[in-house]
Amino acid sequence: MTVLSSRPAQPVDPGLVSIALETAGRLANDASDVIMATAGRGARPADGTSPFDWVTDTDRTLERHTRRVLTAEFPDIPVFCEDTDADVAPEVGFRWVVDPVDGTANYVAGVPWCAYSLALVDRWGPVVGVVADPYRAQIYAAARGRGMRANGTPVKLGGQPVSSIVCTEMTRTGPWPGMGEFISRAAVSGTGVRVLGSKALAVAQVALGHAAAAVLHSYHEWDVAGAVALAVESGAAVLDRRGEGASLPVDGLLVAMPEVAEEVLEWWQSSMAR
């Protein structure tokens, strides 16, 4: 089993990384302010849509602001967004990917669990990532080879007790195949599974050491690229469903504290095999 963060980092122009990290941090702060000012206060998703597909005025406002700033600062780097772009072209070099409000159903209801996620990605994975956690007044940020920080304080896994919590998320159509079996296997091992409604924050909890692992059966790049940057730089294992190291695997994602990665992977694989 390969831990992604142990791989040699692919070099990126340090000047680009510094400017990207500073710009992403400013955008995350802006988004946090907007989300806190509007959450649960008259947000109006489109009528008749599923909560998993809601797009609010706040999503659109934050997307426009993010595009405007990034286009001005990085005119040669395309920006891909959850709400307007179908998928990310894999042949694109550097690209920005943004989810303006990850956890929109929670945001609309005023449930304090949603995030703004932004990442600069290249062919090897996230280069820079930020996740704003507005309700906890936290900005999590990481850059390739520069570590992870939470409100400026360095974060590194190692030495802390392993959490008894594992996170996962529903698919857009409901529970993923084998999800019930996965929850049962975790429970037998004394681990509780939590489904809280934000893929970005689920992965971020692992990077912070609050959760032992996060299993995402399906996702889009913009859902988790920012949080995967945090996980890699904090020292978490980032694996596909076969247990191979992969930055943003196309068929599911496991992010875990290294001590439990193999065990959680076995729960996941076994539950899908039934």
Predicted pLDDT at 79: 95
Mean pLDDT of the chain: 89
Phi, psi of 74 (to 5 degrees): -135, 70
CB atoms within 10 A of CB 207: 30
In angstroms, how far is CA 264 from the centroid of its own chain? 19
Q: Is 13 annotated as a binding residue?
A: no
Q: Which two tokens stand for residue 36?
A: 């806190």
Could you tell me the strand order of the sheet in which 192-194 lies? Answer: 192-194, 165-168, 213-216, 253-256, 237-239
Region class of 147: left (phi > 0), else alpha (psi between -120 and 50), else beta: left
Predicted pLDDT at 49: 57
Q: Is 85 annotated as a binding residue?
A: no
Q: Is 47 annotated as a binding residue?
A: no
Length of the chain measured in residues: 274
Predicted pLDDT at 273: 76
pLDDT tens figures, 229-247 = 999 999 999 999 999 998 8
Predicted pLDDT at 160: 87
Q: Is 223 annotated as a binding residue?
A: yes
CA distances from 186 to 24, 183, 224 (A): 36, 5, 23
Predicted pLDDT at 93: 82
> Which segments of the chain have a pLDDT < 70?
1-9, 41-55, 82-92, 274
Q: Which residues contact 72 (CB under 8 A, 6 or more apart)?
A: none
Q: Which two tokens stand for residue 151?
A: 């409100």
